[in-house]
Amino acid sequence: MTAEYPVAPRIVAPPVWQIGKALLAERRLQQLRPVILPALTAAAVLLAWQIVVTALRVPAVILPPPVEIAHELWRVLPALLHHAVPTTLDSVMAFFTASALGIGLAIVITYSPFVRDMLYPNLVLFQLIPKVALAPLFVVWLGISSESRVAFATFVSFFPVVISAVVGFANIEASAMRLCRSLTATEWQSFVMVRFPFALPAIFSGMKIAMTMAVIGVIIGEFISAKAGLGFYILYASSRMETAVIFAALLVLCVIGVALFGAVALAEGLVRRSYGRR
Amino acid sequence: MRVGEEERYVEVAEVRKVYRSGTAEAIEAVSSVSFTVARGQFVAVLGPSGCGKSTLLMMVGGLEAVTAGRITIGGEPMTGPRTSIGIMFQDATLLPWKSAYDNVLFPIRVLKRPLASYRDGARQLLERVGLDGFMHKKPHELSGGMRQRVAICRALVYDPELLLMDEPFSALDAITRDEMNELLLDLWQQYTKTALFVTHSIREAVFLADRVLVMTRRPATIVEDLTIPFARPRPMAIGESREFNEICGHLRKRIEEGHYRERGSRFEASMARKELVG
């Protein structure tokens, strides 16, 4: 009997360039994953929303399907853009005021132990109050003007800046301050040349929170007292039961929020290029 | 300058430092230390960790106040940091967002001297310590030894008369440390500064210094003032000579005596307590 040797199947290797191509495609997919995955998820949710709402015949007043929202968005876009202007301007204004005031107060707190002991515990406590509840007070004090809303939004977004800046100024490396002292640097010099740059990451993280808080503050102000702005427009659409329009306004608001936050993050990136630790 | 002032350029007279923190027992960090350093001399203060030698150095540099006694430099009593003193700390203390070159120029900016007239000096110093290729690197791109080299350059760039060094190489590995010692001697010979060097390494002290002061922990004072007989320049190889090792042996014995005394006193104290209880 002759032994039968198993014959190894012939493996046909794909041409080398195809392997390379496949690997490259795979790697590109991996790189794009952080973009593709959330986008796909969002698309899936929208699709499910559309299907469920249509299948269950949910009234459009309760929950309009995405397609209708898109349609409405296109119809009322000019009005939305018109109302987006005051909302955006007031938010930016409140953000800058809150940042300037917050950093200023943090400097005073850092250099005056008296002011720190006097204010800081109260600031931290105040942080815990739902400040939104104070919005009607601002109407009582400052009326229903745009300034009143900017003041309220400033008030809301000011706390994260102070607190993170105080922490940033305090967390400076002791050895760096000792170096300044040994070089007979003045307080001002040590602040500008060392303490402030060291605190920049903390200050920016406070400012990023402040930016989102400022938009929230302005919208709430507009809910209470305004004749223009996206907050006003949402309330108006709500009174007319135009749910799809509300969603369209929310979408525009979302874009504004992302753009403003992105601008602060971009500024942070630019500053870090010259003052980054790495 | 009056006669004798060259011999007593640095004069430390019965200096004492006591830390009091709240209700806790006062801690005597330095108890009655006296010594002088002649202009141009390299003196090492040698002692175990926690013996108060760093505190002593910081008092000489004007960064810590004396509790009692007097320190004069160049005939003038110390009241605070001075620009005629350069200090090297245990860690390099570089500003993380500045390049090596800009870190070296940092004192010039603080002292508001004309930058233009120090640029060449800074560059030469960096070349001298072998960092010509790393001038525009940030601290995180440099090794530990390189960072300390930048710190040496920074301490020398504004041409101080007195160089104070607080265990500047203690965080480096043994091989890098030897390199740094050689480099420091080289630089010191070229720039001939008066130098006070704090270390817990016996060999480092003997290799570098004209005189070694031995400090013990309890009491935190100087128990030995030894002149090192080796001529300069000193090659690394003297570390293998018999005389070098005999000196090291002698110093080690003096340090150990300090330890025994400390242990002895603790033992006596515990005996006394037992007697009280018994």
Dihedral sign for Cα atoms in the order B60, B62, B66, B70:
positive
Strand B194-199, strand B222-227: pairing? unpaired
The contacts of residue A160 (CB under 8 Å, 6+ apart) are A102, A206, A207, A209, A210, A213
Residue A259: its H or E element: helix A243-275
Residue type, A98: A
**How many other CB atoms sit within 10 Å of the CB of residue A178?**
17
Determine whether the interchain pair B63/A275 forms a contact, defined as Cβ–Cβ distance below 8 Å: no
Q: What is the pLDDT of residues A52-96, one digit of tens each?
A: 999 998 888 889 999 999 999 999 999 999 999 999 999 999 999
pLDDT at A4: 64
**Given this model, what pLDDT does residue B272 score?**
44
pLDDT at A10 > cutoff 60? yes
B160: closest chain A residue by CA = A183
Q: Which domain holds residue B175?
A: 10-75+98-277
Determine the residue type at A16. V
Residue type, A123: L
How far is the C-alpha of A93 from the C-alpha of A153, rounded, in Å?
Answer: 9
Q: Give chain A positions within 8 Å (CB) of B109.
A: 193
Residues of chain B with Cβ-Cβ distance to A182 below 8 Å are: 61-63, 81, 85, 87
> The complex's ipTM?
0.83
What confidence tens digit (pLDDT) does each residue in A179-219 have? 999 999 999 999 999 999 999 999 999 999 999 999 999 99
Tens digits of per-residue pLDDT, A218-276? Answer: 999 999 887 889 999 999 999 999 999 999 999 999 999 999 999 999 999 998 887 87
Is B176 within a domain?
A: yes
- Quote the CATH superfamily of domain A66-275: MetI-like (1.10.3720.10)
| pLDDT tens sequence across A115-147 | 999 998 888 888 788 888 888 888 889 888 888
Looking at per-residue pLDDT, the higher value among B273 and B238 belongs to B238
Domain ranges of chain A: 66-275
Is B23 a member of any domain? Answer: yes
B186 found inside a domain:
yes
Domains in chain B, number: 1
The answer to whether residue A274 neighbours chain B at the CB level (below 8 Å) is: yes
Question: In this structure, which amino acid lies at residue A243?
Answer: T
- B87 in a structural domain: no
pLDDT at B1: 47
Chain B interface disruption, residue of A182, A271, A272, most B CBs within 10 A: A182
pTM above 0.90, yes or no: no
The CATH number given to whatever domain includes residue B69 is 3.40.50.300
Is residue B1, in this structure, part of any structural domain at all? no
